[in-house]
């Protein structure tokens, strides 16, 4: 989370209208800590904190967003990034392994260097503001996210279970009375 504040500050140097919405419950860092970090990055006036958004409010916030950012140095899978992709949001992610795997199925995803927010801001400006393929990219991202939908995942699990439970002949049958 702290790496997103310098990114929004860099984006605002390109276009002062950029804003950052931080939505969700406190996880590891309190609201006051996050507000202090935003202020230290020079982005306090550009950040809105929604600590307990309802589902309806969250949908509204997603509708206002251009990208989803997670510049975490650890993440088990990245479900929030997949959910954002399903809404057509451009994922801006750190280079950790789960996010690189996600980029394999969604080449439009941006792998950013949290240490270089200015370079990431330039890339986002090009991809979001000036790219004439913005609508097509949103469609590609939403389509890529479908490989993680419950029907697809459940079908994969069923195939694994069917494979495990299917009777198979032994590679070398054991005869009664033989020594093993």
Q: How far apart are CA 76 and CA 11, in angstroms?
A: 28
Q: What is the pLDDT of residues 39-73, one digit of tens each?
A: 999 999 999 999 989 999 999 999 899 899 999 88
Domain 4-165, architecture per CATH: 3-Layer(aba) Sandwich (3.40)
- pTM listed for this prediction: 0.77
Q: How confident is the model over 64-105, as pLDDT tens digits?
A: 998 999 998 888 788 889 999 999 999 999 999 999 999 999
Write the burial class of residue 80 (CB in 10 Å: 0-12 exposed, 13-18 middle, 19+ buried).
middle
User: What mean pLDDT is reported for the chain?
Assistant: 86
- Tell me the C-alpha distance between 123 and 60, whole Å: 26
**Could you tell me the two tokens for 126?**
């090009």
Strands of the chain (E only): list them: 20-23, 47-50, 67-70, 90-93, 110-111
Q: Encoding tokens for residue 43?
A: 């982005």
């Amino acid at each position: 989370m702290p790496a997103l504040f310098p990114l929004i500050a860099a984006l605002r140097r390109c276009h002062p209208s950029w804003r950052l919405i931080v939505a969700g419950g406190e996880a590891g860092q309190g609201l006051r800590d996050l507000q202090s970090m935003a202020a230290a990055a020079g982005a306090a006036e550009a950040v809105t904190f929604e600590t307990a958004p309802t589902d309806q409010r969250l949908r509204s916030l997603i509708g206002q967003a251009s990208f989803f950012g997670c510049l975490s140095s650890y993440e088990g899978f990245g479900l929030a990034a997949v959910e954002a992709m399903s809404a057509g949001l451009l994922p801006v992610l750190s280079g950790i392994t789960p996010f690189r795997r996600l980029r394999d199925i969604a080449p439009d995803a941006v792998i950013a260097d949290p240490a270089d927010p200015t370079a990431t801001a330039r890339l986002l400006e090009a991809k979001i503001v000036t790219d004439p393929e913005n609508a097509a990219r949103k469609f590609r991202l939403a389509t890529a996210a479908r490989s993680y939908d419950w029907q697809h995942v459940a079908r994969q699990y069923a195939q694994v279970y069917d494979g495990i439970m299917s009777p198979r002949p032994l590679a070398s049958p054991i005869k009664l009375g033989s020594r093993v």
